[in-house]
Structure 1
Amino acid sequence: MKVAALSLLVGSAAAFAPAQTGKATTALNAKPFVEGTKALPYGSSPSTLDGSLPGDVGFDPIGFSTAPFASFNNPLYVEGNFMTDLEWLREAELTHGRIAQLAVVGFIWPGLFGTFPGSEEFGGVDAYSELNPFKALTTVPESALYQIVAGMAWVEYRRVTRIKEQGKNRVVGDIGIGYPGAWNPLGFNYTPEEYAEKQLQEIKHCRLAMLGAFGLICQAVNSGTDVVSQLSPAFVFPEYAAKAGYFLPEGI
């Protein structure tokens, strides 16, 4: 869990913008920082953020993008034939962001649209009726959890395979489904400009979903219920409208 959280934090730090003017230095790898970026007009960001990736807005105050993450303790790393450190961080950011998007949908969907029916022969009729995702882990059949793990393993296998095959020509985020770097089941034929815009949209959604998933996790753990059940009374009973924050500890 700690490793996953650190990876999410590191992945999110890959969002970073073009360099502009004025140079300084950082103690991390002693790579130059540049003054005044889109995200930090009164701060600085590493010169490694050259605007080559979608969504770069100059935010890396700690300097993650200057560290050799691609080669650090990485069994996939091949010197001279591998992604750059910044691309490796973006790979992590996209991976966590895509999972977070699925997680946000999974948190909200059951409360809005209902759950799958159960059966007496397969976990019981109420096996899928729990709306709190964490409580649901103890009520669904184990085989359902194994399916999730198997799906994740397949996606990661595809990722590792593509990383090895593509080497330094790696298309960041590409797992071999649809057009490079994205799922394209409907066969959309984007122009390079449209594709760049879709990449920007995806990374924005990924970042928002990671923040949203974190908030939903905290809410579910603290309140013991799902977000829809918690907030829906505010839309029906006026006396609940001022209590959207009731899940916070008393006195805050």
Structure 2
Amino acid sequence: MSQDAFHTHRNLLFSLAHDILGSAGDAEDVVQETWVRWHGVDRDRVDNPRACLVRIVTRLALDERDRLHHEYTGPWLPEPASGPARDPAEDVARAQTIAYGLMVVLETLSPLERAAFILHEAFGFPHTEIARILDRSPAAVRQLTHRARAHVQARRPRFGTQRAAAQAAAERFLDAALGGSIPHLMEVLAPDVTLRTDGGGRTRAALRPVTGSDRVSRLRARVAPVDAEVTVRWSTEDGPPTAAVFADGRPYAVLVAVVGEDGNRVSEVYGILNPDKLTRLTV
């Protein structure tokens, strides 16, 4: 058995752990623990090192995800990554990448649905192999990936006209939110809109999802930056419209706006406000 199997697949392991956890630092910890576990494996009994390593890192990442979410204050949303100061493992080209907006959307899935979707859609693992990784039947894995795919497709603008309409609605929402205009926010929010904010106990944010256009508009108007020069950078990635917001040149928030089927109103909003998760953002 090659002693280099771990290093051969290290970038895959990091990317997989990162997509499950949504945090580069925690993903790196899981990869290091995978290295320790790999050294305890009887390699003469392993006929597929890659599959074995993926099984180890996936299960460790799911366990770590459960621990992190249990200990976290309020909703957990993935950590955005941008700018030059990134972990070297993040700079390795991947066959496919889950756009940040879609990673945020995946947070509303169960951990197993999220893992199955990532393994199948982003990394191309077949259902039979995912079944062994997750210790589930192939039929159960197909159900997991089907539910996850339907959830994502309902929130991803897939055609040029859909993307343009969604972007326009998201920009109207952000302009109203940053302007603190409750009437304008009400116009662009769906009546049953849901807002999830990740403040991590470090800044003002709702500790539970907020539902309803009236409640969401009032909360967004209260947390908009005041007396600051605001800069907005929109993402060009696939997925729901995503904006990085800077106040006086400093990272303030990342907002993901999911637009409803009518293409005119925002039905879901995700806001990352925890300053510890915004340190890698650059204007």
Normalised to the residue count of structure 2, the TM-score between the two structures is 0.24
Higher strand share: 2
Larger Rg: 1
- When the two structures are superposed, what TM-score results if normalisation uses the length of structure 1? 0.26
